[in-house]
């Protein structure tokens, strides 16, 4: 694999999620982009959270926000892509989530059950 983004197959949507820590501001930034099977951008979100989070907690919170965003714009067959392998595994096995993100993971997994189909994917 050459590391380039690959569009999902129809009828799936890919939701790419990332977080950034701004420690000097005591804030976290999140970004979400949703693309269809053509690779076209369907919707995007960037948001500043006035929370001084650690990297793992920021990635979990970004994914949490992404599930709400994807649901609200109406996509129901979703592949969530994150660069956090820990958060990705926590989505698949919430009972094994680290304590620091367990509450967030329980909430986002509750929402995931409302989607028609979903997958979690780790991207480097």
Q: Do the domain assignments include residue 7?
A: no
The band of 58, judged by pLDDT with boundaries at 50, 70 and 90, is very high
Q: Do the domain assignments include residue 70?
A: yes
Q: Do the domain assignments include residue 96?
A: yes
pLDDT tens profile 2-52: 568 899 999 999 999 999 999 888 889 999 999 999 999 999 999 998 777
The band of 68, judged by pLDDT with boundaries at 50, 70 and 90, is very high
Instruction: Check which CATH number belongs to the domain holding 49 and give it.
Output: 3.30.420.10
3-class SS shares of the chain: helix, strand, coil, % to 5: 35, 30, 30
Give the torsion through C-alpha atoms of 92, 33, 37, 41, to 10 deg: 170
Domain span including residue 118: 13-122
- H/E stretch holding 14 reads strand 13-22
Query: How much is the pTM?
Result: 0.90
Burial class for 47, CB neighbours closer than 10 Å (0-12, 13-18, 19+) = middle
Q: Number of structural domains, the chain?
A: 1
């Amino acid at each position: 694999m050459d590391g380039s983004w690959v569009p999902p197959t129809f009828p799936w949507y890919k939701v790419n999620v990332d977080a950034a820590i701004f420690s000097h501001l005591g804030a976290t930034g999140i970004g979400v982009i949703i693309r269809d099977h053509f690779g076209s951008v369907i919707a995007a979100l960037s948001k500043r959270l006035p929370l001084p989070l650690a990297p793992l907690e920021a990635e979990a919170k970004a994914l949490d926000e992404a599930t709400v965003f994807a649901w609200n714009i109406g996509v129901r067959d979703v592949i969530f892509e994150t660069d956090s392998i820990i958060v990705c595994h926590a989505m698949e096995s919430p009972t094994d989530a680290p304590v620091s993100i367990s509450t967030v993971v329980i909430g986002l997994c509750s929402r995931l059950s409302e989607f028609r189909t979903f997958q979690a994917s780790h991207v480097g």
